[in-house]
Amino acid sequence: MKSAFFINGLWVGPANGQTLPVIDPATETVIHHIPAGSAADANAAVQAARAAFDHGPWPRLTGHQRAQVLRAIAKGIRDRLPELARLEVRDNGKPLPEAEWDLADAAGCFDYYAGLAEGLDGAVEPIALPDPRFTAKAVREPIGVAGAIIPWNYPLLMAAWKVAPALAAGCCMVLKPSEHTSLTALELGEIVNAAGLPPGVLNIVTGLGAEVGQAIAEHPGVDKLAFTGSVPTGARLMATAARDVKNISLELGGKSPFVVFADSDIEKAVEWIMFGIFWNQGQVCSATSRVLVEAPLYPKLLERLLIEAQKIKIGNGLQPGTLLGPLVNDLQYRKVLAAIDRAVAQGATLACGGKAAGFETGYFVAPTVLTDVPLDAEAWCEEIFGPVVCIRPFDSEAEAIALANDSRFGLAAAVMSADTARAERVAAAFRAGIVWINCSQPTFTEAPWGGYKQSGIGRELGHWGLDNYLETKQITRLISDAPWGWYIK
Ligand code: NAD
């Protein structure tokens, strides 16, 4: 486990010597300390990235050359996957198979963007002009120094979603992982060094958002901010970015609906409803936390859901067979339990779940199902970010669409029906950036990821993710020898 920042290819301690404890959420024991960065550390990291961008080799390499390093990073993650996965579990709490899945995805993300980096070589777009005296072309260039600020729910995977496309584009960057889960992000420093990434291209600083995160966002040496996290922090960063008109992309929260029609297979519906809200303890931005079930199916489906939800094995993520680990930390644990209590106080019925029974230590919340949740209750409207699903019946397709879209968020939405035409119709009507038909949550590096409304601005993943880190330059050339003749006749 690393105890220093990764700046300019070296491991350096915090300027003020401060640290933050790392607590295993399953055992509540302190397993390590990470450096708590300050504005001085953020400045050192940005300066290193700035120098690497302005004077270093990375932005000047060909895409093919950068791709070799990206593939070596992917291999570096795969070579250490078992060890990194265990570290992720101890830091975040998630079950080991989920951590292994995340890390395989993170490695795949570097491989994918290696391919897109190669595609940048010679990528010149000729532009047809109506005036034969000129030719024009558009070229893509790295945007500069990127500041990437990420959350705690998928620690190394969220890092990969930003680092891989930024490096592919030729950017240099500063990465700030969440103060709650920094361990695997710090290991990435060692992996990129071994992969041959030049010093200063990727710098990693840890610490509190309000201190080191804010300092990165405010730094004039940063050209682009890429943020994943909560809506309030995203809004604050947008205001910060506005001061010097920084480019910013935002991947924020959600309260995503899952509409299940009565012609659905009940077992498949229950499986996907559970995958949509209990995977990663429900700490998933795209979690389908509002389930709408067509009335004729509702009683039977609810009965099956309650049976299956209560069978889910809760425990330390390192124990074989665990399907639901602890929440990430004490704060999140208290927030989620308080949200459940408020839901009940506002009229909801706790059909199952709440504080997990049988645990003396650890931040365990059982799979929770809330019924009869009033449409204006906080639990129906706001992101809880825990294993808590609200479920209610609906009578018509139009009602389901209206209920699904009645949210300030628009990250994801899901629909299940045996009627393909209906499923496609509802998918088209959803106001959300990510739509699943007959499933919930499967995510592919190749497909665009991001939200409508308050769920964010911009898209990650796929070629859309690379665009975040590229500028577009037009070059227009006069090819006619004839005098221009405006002033000099
Ligand atoms: P958060 O907003 O509290 O923190 C996210 C990051 O921002 C952390 O690194 C934090 O240190 C930093 N930060 C906090 N205050 C800051 C400030 N003033 N200036 C700069 N940086 C600051 O979010 P979280 O609790 O870590 O993550 C959960 C949220 O993330 C949920 O709302 C979830 O929906 C969202 N999320 C969205 C996506 C997506 O792709 N849309 C993915 C994962 C998580």
Query: What burial class does residue 78 get, using C-beta atoms within 10 Å of its C-beta: 0-12 exposed, 13-18 middle, 19+ buried?
Result: middle
What's the whole-model pTM score?
A: 0.97
* 253 CB near ligand 1 (under 6 Å): yes
- The answer to whether 297 and 416 have CB atoms below 8 angstroms apart is no
Q: Which are the contacts of 421, defined by CB distance < 8 A and separation ≥ 6?
A: none
Six token digits for residue 404? 């699904």
* 144 CB near ligand 1 (under 6 Å): no
Q: How many Å lie between the centroid of ligand 1 and the Cα of residue 262?
A: 37
Return left, alpha or beta for 473; rule: phi > 0 is left, psi -120 to 50 is alpha, else beta.
Answer: beta
- The answer to whether 241 and 248 have CB atoms below 8 angstroms apart is yes
* 204 CB near ligand 1 (under 6 Å): no
CA dihedral 123, 450, 71, 143 (to 10 degrees): 50
Question: Quick one: how far is CA 209 from the chain centroid?
Answer: 16
Q: How many Å lie between the centroid of ligand 1 and the Cα of residue 229?
A: 2
Return left, alpha or beta for 362; rule: phi > 0 is left, psi -120 to 50 is alpha, else beta.
Answer: left
> Which segments within 257-411 are labelled E, that is strand?
257-260, 290-294, 349-355, 365-371, 388-394, 409-410
Local confidence pLDDT in tens for the 489 residues of the chain: 999 999 999 999 999 999 999 999 999 999 999 999 999 999 999 999 999 999 999 999 999 999 999 999 999 999 999 999 999 999 999 999 999 999 999 999 999 999 999 999 999 999 999 999 999 999 999 999 999 999 999 999 999 999 999 999 999 999 999 999 999 999 999 999 999 999 999 999 999 999 999 999 999 999 999 999 999 999 999 999 999 999 999 999 999 999 999 999 999 999 999 999 999 999 999 999 999 999 999 999 999 999 999 999 999 999 999 999 999 999 999 999 999 999 999 999 999 999 999 999 999 999 999 999 999 999 999 999 999 999 999 999 999 999 999 999 999 999 999 999 999 999 999 999 999 999 999 999 999 999 999 999 999 999 999 999 999 999 999 999 999 999 999
* 252 CB near ligand 1 (under 6 Å): yes
Parallel, antiparallel, or unpaired for β 409-410 and 452-453? antiparallel
The residue contributing the CA closest to ligand 1 atom 11 is 209
Tell me which of 285, 334, 468 to substitute to probe ligand 1's pocket, judged by most ligand atoms within 8 Å of the beta carbon. Answer: 285
Establish how many alpha carbons lie within 13 A of residue 219's alpha carbon, considering only the half-sphere containing its beta carbon.
Answer: 31
Tell me which of 149, 331, 434 to substitute to probe ligand 1's pocket, judged by most ligand atoms within 8 Å of the beta carbon. Answer: 149
Q: How many Å lie between the centroid of ligand 1 and the Cα of residue 286?
A: 14
Instruction: Give the strands of the sheet with 349-355, arranged side by side.
Output: 349-355, 365-371, 388-394, 290-294, 257-260, 412-416, 434-437
The residue contributing the CA closest to ligand 1 atom 16 is 209
Q: How many Å lie between the centroid of ligand 1 and the Cα of residue 236?
A: 11
The span from the CA of 185 to the CA of 221, in Å, is 22
pLDDT of residue 3: 97
Per-position DSSP letters for 182-244, written without gaps between them? -HHHHHHHHHHHHHTPPTTSEEE--S-IIIIIHHHHH-TT--EEEEES-HHHHHHHHHHHHHT
Q: How many Å lie between the centroid of ligand 1 and the Cα of residue 386?
A: 15
* 20 CB near ligand 1 (under 6 Å): no
The span from the CA of 364 to the CA of 326, in Å, is 4
Q: Compute how many other C-beta atoms are within 10 angstroms of the C-beta atom of residue 391.
A: 24
- The answer to whether 331 and 99 have CB atoms below 8 angstroms apart is no
- The answer to whether 147 and 138 have CB atoms below 8 angstroms apart is no
Q: Which residues pair with 146 in a beta bridge?
A: 173, 224
The residue contributing the CA closest to ligand 1 atom 26 is 151
* 317 CB near ligand 1 (under 6 Å): no
pLDDT of residue 385: 98
Q: Which domains does the chain have, with CATH numbers?
A: 5-252+455-475 (3.40.605.10), 257-437 (3.40.309.10)
Q: How many Å lie between the centroid of ligand 1 and the Cα of residue 214?
A: 12
pLDDT of residue 143: 98
CA dihedral 289, 98, 248, 411 (to 10 degrees): -20
Indicate which atom in ligand 1 lies nearest the CA of residue 232. Answer: 2
The one-character DSSP state at 16 is T
The dihedral through the CA atoms of 258, 93, 148, 165 has a sign that is negative
pLDDT of residue 258: 99
